Chain A
Amino acid sequence: GAVVSQHPSRVICKSGTSVKIECRSLDFQATTMFWYRQFPKQSLMLMATSNEGSKATYEQGVEKDKFLINHASLTLSTLTVTSAHPEDSSFYICSASRHSSGFYNEQFFGPGTRLTVL
């Protein structure tokens, strides 16, 4: 199967620090990677779409200077939450997609990273 990992699974940091979250596709090369944020009892909200070697495409309302995305290779994307504040505390989920059939790109989700900013 297609496995996507995230590291760390849980992080607690002080306000003002930066936190990096890694997303790796372990057994396939991902054409695209996505980053989602999920607040408690809410749905997944897409933050950005990233392709290897190019700038990420951010969804409306997501600050690109706040949430830095680097897609270094076809198997690794990183999300850095810069100068984190308590309101950034959330569950961050990444996914990686690969081409399946027709126009469809199958998407595989990582286990998520729970960020708590004190």
Chain B
Amino acid sequence: AQKVTQAQTEISVVEKEDVTLDCVYETRDTTYYLFWYKQPPSGELVFLIRRNSFDEQNEISGRYSWNFQKSTSSFNFTITASQVVDSAVYFCALSDSGSGNTGKLIFGQGTTLQVKP
């Protein structure tokens, strides 16, 4: 069965703090894709990253970094030196071959990040 768990419902930090959002997934497939999306108050989903199961290299993009560990089925997201504009709901998502090659996404519950000035 496919499942994505984001155990942190809400996180509150003060600006310039580093923050890590956790994501744990379950899949029986060896080939799958993991995603992170940002949903600001406007509601529109913003794509942040896609990672395939064969690429365990960590990725850094500006203040954002991602740590993919297949051994623990985790795909954690870290924001360094957080800013007020980072305040949003962040979703982790999974797509595997169980989706019938349609690209169907299974979303985690989401983590609401509040960055205070």
Contact = CB atoms under 8 A, between A and B. Distances in A.
Grouping DSSP codes into helix (H, G, I), strand (E, B) and loop, the B interface class, with mixed when no group exceeds half, is: loop
A43 B97 contact: no
Interface residues of A, number: 24
Interface string B36-54: 0100001111010000100
A111 interface: yes
Interface string B16-30: 000000000000000
Interface residues of B, number: 23
Given A43-B91, A103-B101, A106-B103, A111 B43 contact: yes
A81 interface: no
B80 to A, nearest CB: 26
B104 A46 contact: yes
Grouping DSSP codes into helix (H, G, I), strand (E, B) and loop, the A interface class, with mixed when no group exceeds half, is: strand
A112 B42 CA distance: 9
Interface stretch (B55-63, B68-76, B107-115): B107-115
Contacts of A95: 105
A36 to B, nearest CB: 8
B107 A103 contact: no
A28 interface: no
A69 interface: no
A26 interface: no
Contacts of B102: 31-32, 34, 49, 97, 105
A93 interface: yes
Contacts of A45: 107
Contacts of B110: 42-43
Contacts of B107: 43-45
B45 A93 contact: yes
A90 to B, nearest CB: 11
16 contacts: A34-B104, A42-B109, A42-B110, A43-B109, A44-B45, A45-B107, A46-B104, A46-B105, A103-B101, A104-B33, A105-B101, A107-B95, A107-B103, A109-B37, A109-B44, A111-B44
Interface of B: 31, 33, 37, 42-45, 47, 52, 91, 95, 97, 101-110, 112
